[in-house]
Amino acid sequence: MITEASPAIRRITVAGIKVEVVRKDIKNLHLGVYPPHGRVRVAAPLVVSDEAVRLAVIDKLGWIKRQRAKFAEQPRQSQREMVNGESHFFLGRRYRLRVHEHNAPARVALRGIASLDLFVRLGSSAEQREAVLLRWHREQLKALIPPLLEKWQPTLGVQVAA
């Protein structure tokens, strides 16, 4: 079964596995299985037929299934409870969450290289704490993006539309 997604990307189903096929100006066919759910993607040369792509996937079905089984066995990040000692990531580094309950506006502060302090109102729920942390992440991102745009827009010859 072949399904059109866009001119360059097609989706096919081989032995019950959905495969994303991307046509490129390359010499060799590349097959990949990607975490976390085992998405299968084939980058194929423009000159290779759909049937040849399908046969290549069939040839590697055993390998694809083994890769997907590995991903299924890997532990996933647990549901966040927003409590003391929980690990949270910021800019690729892991920080230990320290929750401080007080009667002032909520805020977040990095303490040193290992702690992320979350100041919230007394009796706040996990959802409210998570919302404070997500808002802080967005604020940090908004501060980090402009210098990157300033550097890379001229280099890449592009302009970001607001």
Distance, CA of 99 to CA of 123 (rounded, Å) = 12
Gyration radius (Cα) of the chain, Å: 23
Any long-range contacts for 129-136 (C-beta under 8 Å, 24+ apart)?
Answer: 129/82, 129/99, 130/80, 130/82, 132/106, 132/107, 132/108, 133/82, 133/88, 133/108, 136/107, 136/108
Domain definitions of the chain by residue range:
2-73, 87-153
Q: How confident is the model over 127-147, as pLDDT tens digits? A: 999 999 999 999 999 999 999
Q: How confident is the model over 91-119, as pLDDT tens digits? A: 999 999 999 999 999 999 999 999 999 99
Q: Residue 42, class by beta-carbon neighbours within 10 Å (0-12 exposed, 13-18 middle, 19+ buried)?
A: buried
pTM over the 0.85 mark = no
